[in-house]
Structure 1
Amino acid sequence: MNYKLLLGAGVAVATMAMSMGLAAAQSLPGEGKTVKMAQPTWDTEWFQAQIYRKVLEKLGYTVEAPTTLDNPPFYQAVGQGDLDFWASGWFPLHSTYMKELEGKASTVGYVAKGGALQGYLIDKKTAEANNIKTIEDFQKPEVAKLFDSNGDGKAEMVACPPGWGCELTINHQMKAYGLADTVEPLQAAYAASMADAISKYEQGKPIFFYTWTPNWTVGMLKPGEDVVWLQVNKAELPDDQKEMEDQTSIPGVKGCADDPCKLGWPANDIQVVANDKFLEDNPAARKLFEVMSIPLEDIFAQNALMYQGKDKPADLEQQAAEWLEKHKAEVDGWVKEAEAAAK
């Protein structure tokens, strides 16, 4: 037996196997590329950001830790190419930002399609005791007084901090509904303001707040049980959203007196917003953004964990990793589609 020949053949096979393994390792479409992503200042979107980050890493990309930004600086940065994407575009709420980015950035896919609701809520007990059903009821001084804790005659409403897309719509609606003299929007840090509202609710005091879904607020204060949605007599949206006013009656809203519920806000799609040059150079990332999504109920569940104190970066890392493992088959399918798009 020619042992030298066998040994040589073995070495050749091993070398070939190593070469094939190396080629396979280098065949990932994101190999050698770094992605710069962002996440918004509202932390109810951070879980989704971690999931998108981790799935991109499965394609071989190096993904930098998300930069936390308000809407205006993010949209400016993604248009300039200083950032590649975020998974937190709310449309039509953010449409005004996109009008300035034609040819520079685009929306891609749906993190959650049509499931993002917005509107105003008050505690159910006060609503029923005083027959409060619409936001216009707050034009009445006697109603505003119920939610006034500092004696200035205005109802205190937890609103959006400056720089959030909802800030502009709330400011518009306060004027449109004649509430400037009877409602005071609180624009401090949202999570802290809502924590204070929940504390008041637990003490049996009236509360009034704006919120959106998915959000931990409607996990802690359940519509139909703890709080109710206020309706509007007539939809009033800013000029850049006027065409959406006929889409503000939403069917099947739990905790609303009517069905459909006249929320006064259109249901939003949550979408990826990405730099056009990045999408052009990275067909695998584009395809991934087109096919992946996250169920709203999973976002609700994670947001509740954050409110309970599991909100540290390490917690979010673990929660995202657990979600990916639970949805492994689906995630693997997304990755295969993305890889195929790059070939």
Structure 2
Amino acid sequence: MKKLFTATALAAVCAASSLAAQEKIMISDPNWNGARAVGHVIKAIVTEKMGGEAEILTGMNQQPVIFAGMDKGDGSIDIHPDMWMPNWQSAWDQYIEGNGTVKTNNSYAGTSRLYVPSYMADKLKSMEDLNDPEVAAMFDTDGNGKGEYWAGDVTWASTKRWQVKFKSYGLDALWEPNVVSGDTFKAGLAAAYAASQPQLFYYWTPEALHVQYDLTPLEEPARSEGCEDLDLDAENWLEVSEFECAGTPASVYVAYSASLETRNPEVAAMLSRMQLTGDEVGLWIQEMFENKRDPAEVAQEWIADNAETVDAWING
């Protein structure tokens, strides 16, 4: 009887572990294409290759909420598919280094710069050129005497960083930020590009925008000691922060709740071993969002073509 009880108890534990391993994975959906593409690939790996369940939380694009959800560890939000650093240094310090409630994979490299359409490249080549009132006037669409540039979405830390840059370069008197969603910006860019009108905007790689349009980045001063001193969490972040040089290349991570290590250890292990490249992410973006293909189909095709790589992520 004792042996029977032990065997039964062991079977129950194994069954419980199996159920835990299959706990549904909740993937956030930040509102840019790179994050969406990576999210679809993760979902396909979990559902198609690992036999689990995963859901992309459409509309879950408030990054502070995403990080707080991963920190809670209750399964409401498990994954941020495209965490850009150092844009979210405060979240890194709090949840990864501090609480230890969020983990990451190995990063891939990204860049973020200020761009104009290449048909504007003969008129301005560097941030220094933005000090010319005649240049700023070309980008003044509302007649208030200031040129406009797209700094990003209101929820992005990078949006603050570009506003700090313009202040630090002494451009506040001539320029003002246009803070709107990525989708709104891209619709405006398409219309402006078709009419060869001026546009000045922050953007990044990898992204399919660089395939769709011919874009030129503006040059910035080289980095030097003390050229970047940011406190974006301060109430008066714009006044106390300085940034008057080129940024460093970004490191982009898949971030996930540390609670997955107990709630779904197989998926947590897979995410920890996941190693992406900018070229891969750029390909997914192009196929899913520019060529308008079904994201699930693109993800499944890539997984089939890279089975050995994906199996190594899953099995170690």
Under TM normalisation by the shorter chain, which class is it? 0.7 to 0.9
Query: Match of 2:310, SS?
Result: helix
Aligned positions of 1:51-130 closer than 5 A: 51-57=41-47, 58-67=49-58, 68-81=60-73, 82-101=76-95, 102-110=98-106, 112-114=107-109, 116-128=110-122, 130=123
Supply the distance in 2 between the matched residues of 1:240 and 1:59 (Cα, whole angstroms).
42
Aligned to 1:319: 298
Supply the distance in 2 between the matched residues of 1:335 and 1:234 (Cα, whole angstroms).
41
Aligned positions of 1:99-178 closer than 5 A: 99-101=93-95, 102-110=98-106, 112-114=107-109, 116-128=110-122, 130=123, 132-178=124-170
TM-score (norm. length: structure 2): 0.79
Query: Match of 2:286, SS?
Result: helix
Aligned to 1:253: none
Deviation at 1:230, TM superposition (A): 0.8
Deviation at 1:26, TM superposition (A): 11
Supply the distance in 1 between the matched residues of 2:186 and 2:245 (Cα, whole angstroms).
20
Deviation at 1:336, TM superposition (A): 2.0
CA gap 1:195/1:216 in 2 versus in 1, 3 angstroms: farther
Cα deviation code 1:257-302 (max 9, x no counterpart): xxxxx97222111112222232355443333122223332232233
Tell whether the 8 Å contact from 1:127 to 1:228 is kept in structure 2 after alignment. yes
CA RMSD between the two structures = 2.8
Tell whether the 8 Å contact from 1:121 to 1:227 is kept in structure 2 after alignment. yes
Supply the distance in 2 between the matched residues of 1:165 and 1:43 (Cα, whole angstroms).
17
CA gap 1:297/1:54 in 2 versus in 1, 3 angstroms: same
Deviation at 1:202, TM superposition (A): 2.5
Deviation at 1:306, TM superposition (A): 4.5
Aligned positions of 1:19-38 closer than 5 A: 31-38=21-28
AA matched with 1:53: K
Tell whether the 8 Å contact from 1:229 to 1:263 is kept in structure 2 after alignment. no
AA matched with 2:272: E
Aligned to 1:21: none
Deviation at 1:238, TM superposition (A): 4.6
AA matched with 2:230: D
Structure 1: stretches of 5+ with no match in the other structure = 1-24, 242-261, 338-343
AA matched with 1:32: Q
Aligned to 2:310: 331
Tell whether the 8 Å contact from 2:149 to 2:178 is kept in structure 1 after alignment. yes
Q: Which has the larger Rg?
A: 1
CA gap 1:286/1:299 in 2 versus in 1, 3 angstroms: same
Query: Match of 1:204, SS?
Result: coil
AA matched with 1:278: L
Supply the distance in 1 between the matched residues of 2:165 and 2:54 (Cα, whole angstroms).
39
- How many residues in Structure 1 have an aligned counterpart in Structure 2? 283
Aligned to 1:284: 266
Cα deviation code 1:40-92 (max 9, x no counterpart): 12233111101112222333432233352221111111112242222211111
CA gap 1:295/1:26 in 2 versus in 1, 3 angstroms: farther
AA matched with 2:93: K
CA gap 1:42/1:308 in 2 versus in 1, 3 angstroms: closer
AA matched with 2:50: L
